[in-house]
Amino acid sequence: MSIRKITEYPEEVLARVGEPVTEFDKELKALTDDMFETMYDDHGVGLAAPQIGLSLRLFVMDCDGIKLVAANPEIIETSGEDTGQEGCLSVGKVPAVVTRAMKARLRAQDVNGEWFEKEAEGYAARCFQHETDHCDGKLFIDHLPKMRREMVIKKFKKEKKWG
Binding site for Ni ion (CB under 5 A): 88
CB of 90 to Ni ion, least distance (A): 5
Of the listed 8, 37, 117, 131, which one is catalytic?
131
Residue closest to 119 by CA, chosen among 103, 101, 102: 103
Residue closest to 94 by CA, chosen among 160, 145, 39: 160
Which H or E run includes 76? strand 66-79
Residue closer to Ni ion by CB (options 113, 151) is 151
- The answer to whether residue 131 is catalytic is yes
CB of 130 to Ni ion, least distance (A): 5
Tell me which residue has its CB nearest to Ni ion.
88
Residue closer to Ni ion by CB (options 31, 94) is 94
Residue closest to 153 by CA, chosen among 102, 94, 111, 113: 94
Q: What amino acid positions are annotated as catalytic residues? A: 131
